[in-house]
Amino acid sequence: MILALLIVAMLVLLLFRVPVAFALLLPCLGYVILSEDISLGVAQQRLVAGLDSFPLLAVPLFIMTGYLSNAAGLADRLFRFLMSLLGRVPGSLGYVNVGSSLMFSWMSGAAIADAAALGSVLVPAMRKRGYDEGFALGLTGASAMLGPIMPPSIPAIIYAVTAGVSVGALFFAGVVPALVLAAVLCVYVFCYAWKHDPQAAGQDESGGILTATLAALPVLVTPVIILGGILGGVFTPTEAAAAAVMYVLFLSVCYRSLSLRGLYDVLLQTARTTGSIMLIVSAASLFGWVIARERGPQVLAELLLAVTDNPYVFLLLINLALLVIGMVLEPTAALLITVPVLMPVAVQFGIDPLHLGIVMILNLVIGLLSPPVGLVLYVLSSVTGVSVQQVMWGTLPFLVPLGITLIIVTFVPAVSLWLPHLLGM
């Protein structure tokens, strides 16, 4: 009964558009106040303990890396590099769209940063070359989903901290699923190009291949620094985030593409985003503690084990639940709420925590293309000047390739686990 009341209270507060952090915090404070054996001091300790984590330091650093990359115009260099390679291929701008998002995801770690950086460049270019506007918007939104899956992924850090697994191992677990998603999107682009025959972009617009490659080469080194440093034992994921910030800042100075005013805006955006995320993390820590105290995971495990003892049926059920949750909650908040409940149950079903993490992240980021939350929809609308409704209709067909990728990742665990196991993680 207490569990039900807590969850209902949270949902009611969210329905009334109370910020997520306070929708989590207020029911917990009511629980603590009404409990005879818990003091407010315990609640304060749980709130602080939720932020007392060294891996969480990577979150603001990777957020800053994404904002810096956007402000310094690094996405434009990636775009021109891919255009020089694929300019004369039928459907070239579609492949460039996917490739740009794939490369930019190595620096951003978030779908919103990807959509903001590339949407303003790719959508107008695709419209100019005869691509349907809905297709351009939908492809840009769908390819932005690579950001939270491919390392460095901010949702992966949140999951790893909450579930108690290695951040580095989860980073590498996301590489192959991200490549699978990119491949499925490229197949979708091929089918569109075969049916509609859009105009090729032409190599001459992007200059020579050598010039574009040299211009983009320093940017392409960023993932080598991040993943190579982690894999080589040079630094931890948190230290890799700091190294990424310094390297992107160094590139910005060398390219002379970032003013002091631009740097101030980057710092301000980073502080705002970090503040909102950390407030949710702190409140979710208390919420998770209350749920655990009331035996929430045990109750869910008993319920699911009464329904099925098949791990694949369990994965199907949590997929359906997470797709709905992702429609109403931002991925960070959803992970912080659901991981403490689902992780113990998944272990009983014999599901690897790394596999579960990628499945959960992919489920929840699809919600970024689904109203009413759909943050990527609003970002694309803002940077392209197109209404949110048009963006939404453009992205609907791309739920098919996203769904295909989700099925592959869910029911073929090796897609997520092969690379970490190969690396001995």
User: Does residue 316 have a pLDDT over 70?
Assistant: yes
Poorest-pLDDT segment among 45-59, 111-125, 287-301, 408-422: 287-301
* The predicted structure's pLDDT at residue 277: 82
Distance in angstroms (rounded) separating the CA atoms of residues 67 and 238 = 17
Question: For 351-369, how does the pLDDT look when each residue is reduced to its tens digit (9 = 90+)?
Answer: 999 999 999 999 999 988 8
Above pLDDT 70, what percent of the chain? 96
How far CA 397 is from CA of 137, 246, 392, in Å, comes to 11, 39, 10
- Residue with the bigger pLDDT between 410 and 40: it is 410
Calculate mean pLDDT across residues 55-73.
83
Above pLDDT 90, what percent of the chain? 19
- Residue with the bigger pLDDT between 117 and 343: it is 343
Residue 417: pLDDT band (50, 70, 90) is: very high
Mean pLDDT of the chain: 84
Could you tell me the end-to-end alpha-carbon distance of the chain, in angstroms, rounded to an integer?
41
Pairs from 38-44 (Cβ < 8 Å, separation ≥ 24): 43/286
Distance of CA 46 to the CA centre of its chain: 26
Helices 20-34 and 40-49: crossing angle in degrees, nearest 10, is 150
Distance in angstroms (rounded) separating the CA atoms of residues 199 and 424 = 46
Question: For 7-25, how does the pLDDT look when each residue is reduced to its tens digit (9 = 90+)?
Answer: 788 888 877 878 878 888 8
Neighbours of 24 (CB within 10 A): 28
Neighbours of 37 (CB within 10 A): 5
Distance in angstroms (rounded) separating the CA atoms of residues 107 and 96 = 17
Neighbours of 83 (CB within 10 A): 23
* The predicted structure's pLDDT at residue 359: 95
Distance in angstroms (rounded) separating the CA atoms of residues 71 and 354 = 33
Residue whose tokens read 């101030």 = 264
pTM of the full predicted structure?
Answer: 0.83
How far CA 229 is from CA of 107, 178, 209, 225, 226, in Å, comes to 14, 20, 29, 5, 5
Residue 72: pLDDT band (50, 70, 90) is: confident
Distance in angstroms (rounded) separating the CA atoms of residues 274 and 420 = 29
Residue 178: pLDDT band (50, 70, 90) is: very high
Residue 204: pLDDT band (50, 70, 90) is: very low
Q: For the chain, give every domain's residue range.
A: 20-30+46-422
Strands, E assignment, 230-282: none
What secondary structure does DSSP assign to 350-390, as a single string? T--HHHHHHHHHHHHHHGGGSTTT-HHHHHHHHHH---HHH
* The predicted structure's pLDDT at residue 358: 95
Best-predicted range by mean pLDDT among 26-35, 251-260, 399-408?
Answer: 399-408
- Residue with the bigger pLDDT between 88 and 5: it is 5
Specify whether the backbone of 376 is left (phi greater than 0), alpha (psi in -120 to 50) or beta: alpha
How far CA 268 is from CA of 53, 60, 63, 271, 398, in Å, comes to 23, 12, 11, 5, 33
Question: For 219-256, how does the pLDDT look when each residue is reduced to its tens digit (9 = 90+)?
Answer: 888 888 888 888 788 888 888 888 888 988 998 888 88
